[in-house]
Amino acid sequence: MIRRNKEILSLYASEIITADSTDLNQTFIEELRAYKFQDGETIADIGGGIGSRSLIMSMLPLKLTIYTTEINKQLLQYQNTLYKGLPNKFRYNKVEVIKGSKNQTNLPTDRFDKILMTNTFHHLKKVPEMLSSIHDNLKPNGTLFVLEDLRSNQFIPYCIHQITEEDLIDKMAATDFVFVEKIWIGKQSLFIYNKK
């Protein structure tokens, strides 16, 4: 499956195939496109969960430096095992797994071109502290991508937390980030912010 995805992702990156012509999860392809990754970029995925996004990003045919953070011990262990267990021929880029904390990412300062937070914002216990830490991690022109399912009154499988659009906008407005745009990725909202 990994080998097959790698081939599909190469075709996608060369724009030989489009989201409509692949049987990979279509919204994920849309999401990847929205990040507009460039060769040489340094990326972080905050709250990477089981690490599936970083894994796919590591297989993109681009030279990327990828970090992923987690606070959950089991998920950290899972991710470490996942990346160590993969033969190098299946990957283009190494993934660095970092133990985060409630208040900060524990990532290096002024280092990242793009930071992703997918379905993680609503899990944060210390939102202002985490957003300030992410702001510090980004390079001066860096970008933060926040992906969330903001449909109200919807049952979201396996998710006990929920956040409204107003809440997310308010929390972001209290930071130094500058709103760029919001785009739809399937039924999810992707908010894009620049570092001031």
Ligand X SMILES: C[S@@+](CC[C@H](N)C(=O)[O-])C[C@H]1O[C@@H](n2cnc3c(N)ncnc32)[C@H](O)[C@@H]1O
Cβ of 56: how many Cβ atoms within 10 Å?
18
Q: Smallest gap, in angstroms, from Cβ of residue 16 to ligand X?
A: 27
Nearer residue to ligand X within complex by CB, 40 or 108: 108
> What's the rounded Cα separation, in Å, for the pair 54 and 56?
5
Nearer residue to ligand X within complex by CB, 31 or 41: 31
Q: Smallest gap, in angstroms, from Cβ of residue 45 to ligand X?
A: 7
Kindly tell me which residue out of 48, 143, 146, 172 binds ligand X, with binding defined by CB under 6 A: 48
Kindly tell me which residue out of 29, 49, 112, 146 binds ligand X, with binding defined by CB under 6 A: 49
Cβ-based burial of 86 (10 A; exposed 0-12, middle 13-18, buried ≥19): middle
Q: Does residue 142 interact with ligand X by CB under 6 A?
A: no
Give the DSSP letter of residue 17.
S
Site for ligand X in 68-107 (CB under 6 A): 69-72, 75, 100, 102
- How many helices (H) and strands (E) the chain has is answered by 6, 7
Nearer residue to ligand X within complex by CB, 10 or 80: 80
Q: Does residue 146 interact with ligand X by CB under 6 A?
A: no
C-beta contacts of 149-153 below 8 A and 24+ residues apart: 149/119, 149/187, 149/188, 149/189, 150/188, 150/189, 151/187
Footprint of ligand X (CB under 6 A): 46-49, 69-72, 75, 100, 102, 118-120, 123-124, 130
